[in-house]
Every structure is written in structure tokens, then in C-alpha cells.
């Protein structure tokens, strides 16, 4: 089991709308700000701060690291087993908890995959 704090990664029109609604920017100012974002920049909408627990035994899992702590060479997460995550955590907990965020895929209300995502 693992706990996740979900947030929405807003870019483009969604980011503009959020900046207008939550930061009080004019639409023009928000658009200028968003247009100037680097590829890796986004607005984090964390309107629900509750933590969600996911049973990792029942989902596809992809990690940016091998179980020994070596990072993948091409920034593509590798298919992993739960034991890989366990071993990686024991090598260096920060690689699991703080190095990259996770993309959670939900289908019909059920989590189907948890992917550690490379984000520069």
C-alpha cells in the first residue's frame, strides 16, 4: 500500500483559467504568464489535500530507477514489480519518495497504473 496526494497539473487554457479564478490575474496577464512557461512548468491545482491509499499489488507499476538505485538512461520509466519498489526504497527512500512525482492512471474510477515520471 502507498499513500498519494493527488494534484492536477494545469497547462494552457486550464492554467489560465486557474490563475484568473484563484490568483486574481486578468485573463490577458494569465495568458502572458502561461505562454512564457518552459516545457516543464505548470500550475499545481491541489484543491483536495486528502491522501489516497493505493494497493500497489493491483496496478501496473513503472519506475525511473532499477532496484539497485541506478536511474534509467533514457528518461522512460521501466516496468517494475512491487518487490522492485521495496528494494529501491531500502537502497534509498528518497528515490521513491522525493525524486520524481507519480502519474496515476484511473479507468472507470479504478487506479490501473502508477508511473514515476521524469520531469526536469
pLDDT of the residue at 90: 98
In 3D space, the residue among 94, 96, 95, 114 whose CA is nearest the CA of residue 104 turns out to be 114
Query: Are the CB atoms for 43 and 11 separated by under 8 Å?
Result: yes
Distance CA 45, CA 30 (A): 15
pLDDT of 72 strictly over 90: yes
For residue range 33-69, what is the model confidence (pLDDT) as tens digits? 999 998 777 888 887 778 889 999 989 999 999 999 9
Distance CA 114, CA 74 (A): 19
Distance of CA 59 to the CA centre of its chain: 16
What percentage of the chain reaches a pLDDT higher than 70? 100
Q: Is the pTM of this model over 0.95?
A: no
Question: What average pLDDT does range 79-88 have in this prediction?
Answer: 98
Amino acid at each position: 500500500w502507498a499513500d498519494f496526494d493527488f494534484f492536477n497539473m494545469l497547462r494552457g487554457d486550464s492554467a489560465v483559467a486557474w490563475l484568473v479564478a484563484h490568483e486574481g490575474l486578468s485573463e490577458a496577464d494569465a495568458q502572458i504568464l502561461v505562454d512564457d512557461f518552459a516545457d516543464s512548468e505548470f500550475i499545481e491545482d491541489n484543491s483536495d489535500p486528502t491522501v489516497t491509499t493505493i494497493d500497489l499489488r493491483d496496478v501496473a507499476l513503472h519506475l525511473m530507477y532499477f532496484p539497485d538505485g541506478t536511474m534509467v538512461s533514457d528518461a522512460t520509466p521501466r516496468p517494475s514489480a512491487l518487490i522492485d519498489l521495496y528494494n529501491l526504497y531500502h537502497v534509498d527512500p528518497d528515490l521513491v519518495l522525493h525524486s520524481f512525482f507519480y502519474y496515476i492512471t484511473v479507468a472507470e474510477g479504478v487506479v490501473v497504473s502508477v508511473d514515476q515520471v521524469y520531469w526536469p
